[in-house]
Structure 1
Amino acid sequence: MTTTGSVPDTAADTAGRRALILVLDGVGCGEAPDTAAYGDSGSDTIGNVARAVGGLDLPNMARLGLGHIAPIPGVEPAAHPIGAWGTLLPRSSGKDSTTGHWELAGLHLAKPFPTYPQGFPSSVIEAFERATGRPVIANCVVSGTAVITDFAEQAREAGAWIVYTSADSVFQIAAHEESIPLSELYRACEIAREQLVAPHDVSRVIARPFVGTSGAWKRTANRRDYSLQPPGETLLDALAEAGIPRAGVGKVDDLFAGRGITSRHTVDNAEGVSALLEWLNSAPRGFCFANLVDFDQLFGHRNDVRGFQGALEAFDRALPSLLAALREDDLLFITADHGNDPTTPSTDHARERVPVLVAGARVRGGSVGERDTFSDLGATVADWFGLSWRGRGTSFLPGLLHA
């Protein structure tokens, strides 16, 4: 492999290298060229949140270059940035987490996953009922909190599954943990995943357990996602073939159907950051793929602007601990998988470009530009580890590092 500057020539040169892709789930940064085609005109998650609250306090991401990416009230362009910055454009069809993570890992989808704005066909529901031995109620398009409020009591009395979906390609199954054991809920999700093949090959089946009593229902942290297998080679496959260790934090392993990675599942962003610090302080080499989901799950989908602001500012306060744990041969990439603008009427994901911030002792401050696809990030990580694989992306590593 031909290289430039300090980019490694051989796998031996990469023996002690580490890389971390940290996905801030749903934190987009403005319209993509095809945003209007997805019905998301005007979406700009981080910019609109900043405008709605009169400015964001994100000094540490600003030091990495966030203020150079786009106008964000409260986030000024750093005079002497310590990181690199840019944006990634989505090229796969779709705007869900699976599609976004797969594209980050070098895989493009030619057509979006199927969605069900009228609920699932009776043939799908009846097959699921027969296989699981329980009836289904709801089968509608609704938010996860509303569906529990509306159907939890009925579900407990009938011993039924609450099945629902959203604008995303998801088959969600809610059940009360005291009425239906978690093991049975998870097995039901596995059954649904086996049944939901083309043309009903939804992106994810999601277990949505909850607890509580009437008027005080609460979803628990025992969510599980069951994704389709990626239909082509990903960064994780290439790293596995090369014998490079891989670790995950959050729902990443679920999004890749466990192929090439296992994850430590976390209950919130704070625990996710703690898990990242543990990896940074202990892993001798390798790659970590992490997802912090609170931005999307707790605040974007609920149009909670102040909650979204709080999550961004809490992450920013935690960022110095991650930066301090980086070693000389580490690269930290902070990015997103799609948008989820809480200021718009929609409660669903938004088709947006996403930011990329890069930190590390060998990173020169400056712009990596507007990249043509999320997959450029996966290609850059592969390049860092001395692999020839690039997926659907182009590496920007040579221009990222000090000569």
Structure 2
Amino acid sequence: MNRFIVIVLDGFGVGYMNDAKVVRPSDVGANTCKHILEKNPQLKLPNLEKLGLMDALGEEVGSLKLQKKATFGKAELAHLGADTFMGHQEIMGTLPKPPIKESFMAVINKVYEGLENKGYKVQVKEGKEGKFLIVNDALTIADNIEADLGQAYNVTAALDIMPFKDVLAVGKIVREYSRVSRVITFGGENVTLENILNAVEEKGNGFIGINAPKSGVYNKGYQCIHLGYGIDPEVQIPTILGKSGINVTLLGKVADIVSNEYGKSISCVDTEEVLKLTIKEMNSMDKGFICTNVQETDLCGHRENVEEYFKKLSIADKYIGQIIEKLKEDDILLVMADHGNDPTIGHSKHTREMVPLLISGEKVKKVSLGIRNTLSDVGATVADYFGFTCPEHGTSFLDNIV
């Protein structure tokens, strides 16, 4: 076995899931792929087309045609909602536990005590309705006010005062006492505690947090790790492979949100850059696992910008073609998504959609995988490819394709 490469086109779904009618009614009718192609029927995506994108979609749209020979399927989301973080944990072999939505106020006392018991200097900062914590005069712990309220807590740090590894240690303590889906630990350089405190905003009902862009933490030396509820890295592909000495490289947003203690993780947002990094990694890796997240497709969905989505898909398609050309005899490439983000649906949030599974390799059979009931089937297949027992969740389809 040589290399297994997964490229996640973030937010590129192929049709809303049946349960959306009950759990996310605003997503009924969503079909990111179809609606984008309908808006530009002349759009050419020759490499995704050849991989069987229309076959996964189930119909021809615009200039793109069904293929007589392709290896394709679709996968449903097993996690609740439609979330990039949860989606990637699921891909890596985890079935995340259902989180609880609550403000940081619900756990502030427990977190305060936990940090004090570990020897940290902790201060309570009060707003008009809410409260948050300041730790070692270097970071704040508060609500994430950029996502849906109650979904996450932010640990926002001045990295010139506290190095990121120490910030992460604080984040892990917060995670221990929290039941929300994510504790996001991040920070930047050339930022002071005063800069962070000047970006405090209140959203009512006790929700209070830091406006991250306003604080300046993104401007220089930004580092970030997302800590998820019910996530055990020990049962995920990067740890399973990495502990056994197999090379693991995570590129793009997946580097921020999936634990990869034994491998290489490189954060990157630009589509062309992250796919060039993928090719560079292929050139230097004889055996191993690469997972690349193409984030800008998702960002275009959030902005409800169809024209920009066209452009990012075209760039991705170009480099996917180059990646296919570099596949060795035993290599497998799998192109997929983590959820939908239909820019035409009428709201700017993710959409609960099935995702395509498009597979290429010299020894890969031309078959339909049908509809898989979890993204974790990808992680299980990666484990199987390298000769390991499947991770916590998912069923391998390796025998179906080779």
Query: Which range, TM-score by smaller chain?
Result: 0.7 to 0.9
Query: What stretches of structure 2 of length at least 5 have no aligned partner?
Result: 131-137, 191-212
Distance in 2, matches of 1:138 and 1:220, equals 29
1:289 maps to 2:274: no
> 2:394 corresponds to which residue?
393
Q: 2:259 aligns with which of 257, 260, 265?
A: 257
- For the 8 Å contact 1:62–1:75, the answer to whether it is kept is no
Q: 1:121 aligns with which of 80, 102, 105?
A: 105
**Matched-pair identity in %:** 26
In 2 relative to 1, CA 304–206 (structure 1 residues): closer, same or farther, beyond 3 Å?
farther
- For the 8 Å contact 2:381–2:390, the answer to whether it is kept is no
> 1:73 corresponds to which residue?
61
In the TM superposition, residue 72 of structure 1 has moved relative to its aligned partner by: 5.6
1:3-402 matched pairs, under 5 angstroms: 14=1, 17-36=2-21, 37-39=23-25, 40-54=27-41, 56-70=43-57, 71=59, 73-74=61-62, 76-81=64-69, 83-111=70-98, 113-115=99-101, 120-121=104-105, 124=108, 127=112, 164-167=145-148, 169-172=151-154, 180=158, 184=162, 186=164, 191-205=170-184, 207=186, 220=219, 222=222, 224-228=224-228, 230-231=231-232, 233-296=235-298, 298-389=299-390, 391-401=392-402
In 2 relative to 1, CA 196–107 (structure 1 residues): closer, same or farther, beyond 3 Å?
closer
Distance in 1, matches of 2:51 and 2:356, equals 11
* TM-superposition CA deviations, 1:298-321 (whole Å, max 9, x none): 312222222122111111122211
Q: CA RMSD in A?
A: 3.6
* TM-superposition CA deviations, 1:232-276 (whole Å, max 9, x none): 612223323443221211232432333454312224111111111
- For the 8 Å contact 2:238–2:259, the answer to whether it is kept is no
Query: What stretches of structure 1 of length at least 5 have no aligned partner?
Result: 1-13, 141-158
Write the letter of the residue equivalent to 2:90. Answer: E
* Residues 352-361 or 302-311, more deviating: 302-311
In 2 relative to 1, CA 92–261 (structure 1 residues): closer, same or farther, beyond 3 Å?
farther
Write the letter of the residue equivalent to 2:370. Answer: G
In 2 relative to 1, CA 32–55 (structure 1 residues): closer, same or farther, beyond 3 Å?
farther
* Residues 311-320 or 391-400, more deviating: 391-400
* TM-superposition CA deviations, 1:149-180 (whole Å, max 9, x none): xxxxxxxxxx99695231383334678xxxx5
In the TM superposition, residue 395 of structure 1 has moved relative to its aligned partner by: 1.7
Distance in 2, matches of 1:373 and 1:233, equals 16
* TM-superposition CA deviations, 1:172-223 (whole Å, max 9, x none): 4678xxxx55665956565345224344443241537699xxxx97954835
In the TM superposition, residue 348 of structure 1 has moved relative to its aligned partner by: 2.0
Distance in 2, matches of 1:291 and 1:33, equals 26
- For the 8 Å contact 1:28–1:46, the answer to whether it is kept is yes
SS of the residue 2:292 aligns to:
strand
In 2 relative to 1, CA 282–44 (structure 1 residues): closer, same or farther, beyond 3 Å?
same
In the TM superposition, residue 57 of structure 1 has moved relative to its aligned partner by: 2.2
- For the 8 Å contact 1:193–1:226, the answer to whether it is kept is no
- For the 8 Å contact 1:85–1:368, the answer to whether it is kept is yes
In the TM superposition, residue 361 of structure 1 has moved relative to its aligned partner by: 1.0
Aligned length: 358
Write the letter of the residue equivalent to 2:285. Answer: A
- For the 8 Å contact 2:8–2:335, the answer to whether it is kept is yes
Write the letter of the residue equivalent to 1:27. Answer: F
Distance in 2, matches of 1:77 and 1:53, equals 15
